[in-house]
């Protein structure tokens, strides 16, 4: 078992960075910088810090909320956040202390 950080970003499907959807860019950048995994989760609806409702509509998914989750060492989380600051990414995030591990793998 390891101690680390759950790093979670919240955005909408239509938010962009560097010409790509922000959630896709975050996952690609995490992979490019050597992080071991991440996931994007889509929500039916939600609201953010500006109190505006965001929802997936039948004909339009652009405003659909997206949560991007990484489980990292605390140092990896710190370095990734610093990298995002340097890239001038604008996104809401939370860092949560976690214990993590892998079951059933002899190498873990």
Within-domain flag for 85: yes
* Strand order across the 92-100 sheet: 39-42, 65-72, 2-12, 92-100
Into how many domains does the chain fold? 1
Within-domain flag for 38: yes
Q: The domain that contains 6 carries what CATH number?
A: 3.30.70.120
Within-domain flag for 34: yes
Within-domain flag for 95: yes
Within-domain flag for 14: yes
Q: How far apart are CA 66 and CA 35, in angstroms?
A: 20
Within-domain flag for 7: yes
Secondary structure letter of residue 19 according to DSSP:
T
Within-domain flag for 87: yes
Report pTM. 0.83
Residue 21: domain span:
2-100
Within-domain flag for 106: no
pLDDT tens digits in sequence order for the chain, 108 residues long: 999 999 999 998 889 999 999 999 999 999 999 999 999 998 766 666 666 555 555 455 556 889 999 999 999 999 999 999 999 999 999 999 999 999 997 765
Q: How far apart are CA 96 and CA 58, in angstroms?
A: 33
């Amino acid at each position: 078992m390891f101690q680390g950080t759950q790093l979670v970003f919240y955005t909408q499907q239509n938010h962009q960075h560097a010409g790509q959807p922000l959630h896709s860019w975050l996952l690609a950048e995490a992979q490019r910088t050597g992080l071991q995994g991440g996931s994007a989760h889509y929500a039916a609806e939600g609201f953010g810090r500006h109190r505006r409702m965001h929802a997936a509509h039948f004909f339009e998914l652009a405003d659909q909320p997206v949560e991007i989750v990484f489980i990292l060492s605390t140092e990896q989380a710190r370095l990734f956040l610093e990298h995002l600051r340097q890239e001038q990414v604008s996104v809401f995030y939370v860092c949560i202390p976690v214990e993590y591990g892998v079951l059933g793998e002899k190498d873990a």
